[in-house]
Copies of this chain bind each other. A is one copy, B any other.
C-alpha cells in the first residue's frame, strides 16, 4: 500500500530538481555557458589536464560529444586543445586562465548556495534530513543498478 503523503513528498523532490535545474541553467546562461560545458569545466578543474577519452568517461558521453564540447569551449576561450605530451594519437585539454576562474566561481557559488539553503536549519533537523536523504540515494542507486543491463 502506498500512502498519498509519500507521493506528495516525491512530487516535492521532483519539483526541487526542476527548480534547481532552472536556477542553474538561468545562472549559466548569464555567463554564456551550458550545463554540459560547465560539467566539462568542472571535471577539468578536479582532474587537471585530461585526454578527451577520460572526459568522455567522466561525463558519460561518447568521444564524439566531447569533440563538440571542446570545440565550443576552445572557441570561447575556456580551454585549450593541444597535442598530448606522450601519446601522439591523443589531444590534451587544459583550462585557460578564464576557465580556471570560471571553475573557481562555480565552486564559490556552490558554497554560497549551500549556506543559503541550510544556514537557518536547526542542527538536529539537518542531521535527520541528511540521514534520510542518504538512505534515498542508496535505494535509488540500487534500483537503477538493478535496471541496468
By the criterion CB–CB under 8 Å, are B140 and A23 in contact? yes
Residue A90, interface by CB 8 Å? no
Q: Are A133 and B16 touching (Cβ within 8 A)?
A: yes
How far does the alpha carbon of A134 sit from the alpha carbon of B129 in the complex, in Å?
11
Q: Does A75 contact B (CB under 8 A)?
A: no
Bound CA span A11–B129, Å? 14
Asked if A139 contacts B117 (CB within 8 A), the reply is: yes
Which residues of chain B are near A20, meaning CB under 8 Å?
A: 13-14, 17, 140
Chain A: residues with CB nearer than 8 A to chain B?
1-3, 5-7, 9-10, 12-17, 19-23, 26-27, 110-119, 121, 125-126, 128-137, 139-141, 143-144, 147-148
